[in-house]
Amino acid sequence: MTTIVCAAPPLYGHMTPLAALAGQLERQGHDVTIIDYFSTPFELPPGPARIALPSSRLDQAVHHSGGQNLVLDLINVLRDFCLEIYLPTLQRCAALKPDLLLFDQQLPIAPLLARELGCRYVFTISSPVTLLYRDEAASPIEKGIQQAFSSAYVNMCRELAERLGLSTAFPPPAHNLCFATARFCGREEPDPTVSDPATQTEVPVTFAGPAFLTRPPDAADQALTEQIAAFDGTRIYVSLGSCIANATVNRSAARRIFRNALLAHNDENTLLLYSAPADLLDEAFRDIPIRATVITRAFVNQFFLIEHFSLVYSHGGYNTLAECLLHGIPQIAFPFVFDQTRLAHRLEQLGIGRRVSRTRHTAEELRGRAEWLTNSPDARASLASLKRDIQQYGGLRYGAGTIDSILLA
C-alpha cells in the first residue's frame, strides 16, 4: 500500500477535482490523506483521512479583491498563506511518510515539502488555462495580464523559499495531471509536456478529463430537482460562483448580470434558478415585475441539478464549464479575471458558448446570444461531440490510472 498526501488551496474550484481523485485513489487501495485548509466545513468523499489546518487568509482576500487585479492580489496572499501553513504541513506530512504528494499546482509549497521529505510530487491542474492552444485572437491586454501573472507567480515562489530559509532550486514535479481533455485544450501532440513555472523545466502532462466531486442529494435537493424537472419551458441556471459573487468589489457587476439575465428571459415560459446571496438578488430584482418562475438559493447542489437546464449563465470558471460539457449544455460566460477570459474565449472557438462583458451588456444582447446557442444545430452538434469526448476520458479513472503508473515507475 502506498501513502499519498493531497492538498489544494482552500478554494472550491481547486479542491473539488483533487478531492474527487483522492477518493478514487483510496478506493483503488492507496492510503490517502487530504490536508484541509478550509476555514468553513468542506465535504470530502468517503475514504480518505482528513487533516484539518484551517486558515481564513484566502477567504478574506477573495472578499476584498476583484476585477483584473484579483489574481495578482491573490498571488501575494497565496505567498503569505504558504508561509503560514508550510511548517505545520511539513510536520503532518513527515509523520505520514508519504510516497507521493499530490498537490494542486497553485500550492507552491509542494516542491519544498517533497525535497524535505525525500519523496516525489505530482501537480494537478484544476483549470487548463495554461495548457490551452495558443492563438493570436487573444487581445494584447489579455496576453499582458497572463504574462504579468506568470512572472509574478515565479517571483512569489522564489520569495517564498527565501523567506522560509530554503533553497530556490526547486525539484520539478514528476508529472502534471490536467483535469481537462486534450481536445478541449486544442492539444494533439502524442506525448505533451508543459513548462513548470517555478523550475522552467519541461514536465510530462496527462489530460485526464474532468473529475467531479459529487454530493449525495438531500431532501431539499430532491424537491428542488423535481420542481425544475416538472417545469414545461426553458430552464436557465445563473451562478457566478462563491468567490466572484461574494467579493465586495464585484457586487456592482454581479448585480447587473443577475438583473439583465432576468430582464432577458422574463416571461411565463422560463424558469431561472439563481445561486447567489439573497441580499444581492433583492437589489438586482428591485422594481422588476417578475413574470418568469424565479427560484433563488444561496447555495445549490450544482452537479446534481445542472443537467436539467438548457442554458447556463456563469463567470466562466472551469468546474461549471466542465459540468456543462458533461451534459451538453451551452454557456454564456461573464469572465472576471484573465483565466476565465481565456476559457470563455475557448468556448467561443469551440462554438458552444459566448463570452460577454460583465459590465458592458444589455438584456437584449443576452437574449439574442441565448436564442442562438439554444437553437443552433452547429452548437448542438459541437456540444454532443464534446460530451462524448469527456465521457470517453472518465477523469477519475484515467487520473487514478496515471498516478498508479507514476508510483510503479
Q: Which of 241, 239, 248 is nearest to 67 (CA)?
A: 248
Considering the domain architecture, whether residues 187 and 229 belong to the same structural domain is answered as no
Q: Which of 181, 109, 138 is nearest to 387 (CA)?
A: 181
Mean pLDDT, consecutive 10-residue stretches, the chain (409 aa), reads: 95 93 96 95 90 81 55 81 96 98 96 97 92 64 68 90 94 95 84 79 92 92 96 97 70 94 98 96 97 96 96 95 96 90 93 95 98 96 94 87 92
Give the domain range for residue 234.
Answer: 219-391
Q: Return the SS3 of 101.
A: strand
Rounded (5°) CA angle 52-64-71:
80
Q: Return the SS3 of 262.
A: helix
- In this structure, what C-alpha cell is assigned to residue 198? 517555478
Considering the domain architecture, whether residues 10 and 142 belong to the same structural domain is answered as yes
How many beta carbons lie within 10 A of that of residue 367, not counting itself? 16
At residue 251, the pLDDT reads: 87
Q: What is the CATH number of the domain that holds 336?
A: 3.40.50.2000
Considering the domain architecture, whether residues 105 and 249 belong to the same structural domain is answered as no
Considering the domain architecture, whether residues 144 and 73 belong to the same structural domain is answered as yes
Considering the domain architecture, whether residues 280 and 147 belong to the same structural domain is answered as no
Considering the domain architecture, whether residues 398 and 387 belong to the same structural domain is answered as no
Considering the domain architecture, whether residues 245 and 167 belong to the same structural domain is answered as no
Residue 214 lies in a domain: no
Considering the domain architecture, whether residues 101 and 185 belong to the same structural domain is answered as yes
Q: Which long-range contacts (CB under 8 A, 24 or more apart) does 43-50 make?
A: 43/215, 44/19, 45/19, 45/20, 45/213, 47/22, 47/23, 48/6, 48/19, 48/22, 48/23
Residue 14 lies in a domain: yes
Number of domains, the chain: 2
Task: Give the dihedral sign, CA 297/303/304/306.
Answer: positive
Considering the domain architecture, whether residues 234 and 300 belong to the same structural domain is answered as yes
* Residue 341 host element (H or E): helix 338-350
Q: Which of 368, 379, 293, 365 is nearest to 330 (CA)?
A: 379
Residue 12 lies in a domain: yes
At residue 65, the pLDDT reads: 53
At residue 62, the pLDDT reads: 57
At residue 61, the pLDDT reads: 61
How many beta carbons lie within 10 A of that of residue 153, not counting itself? 19
Pair 112, 164: CB distance under 8 Å: yes
Considering the domain architecture, whether residues 368 and 267 belong to the same structural domain is answered as yes
Residue 66 lies in a domain: yes
Residue 365 lies in a domain: yes
Considering the domain architecture, whether residues 205 and 255 belong to the same structural domain is answered as no
At residue 42, the pLDDT reads: 85
Considering the domain architecture, whether residues 106 and 187 belong to the same structural domain is answered as yes
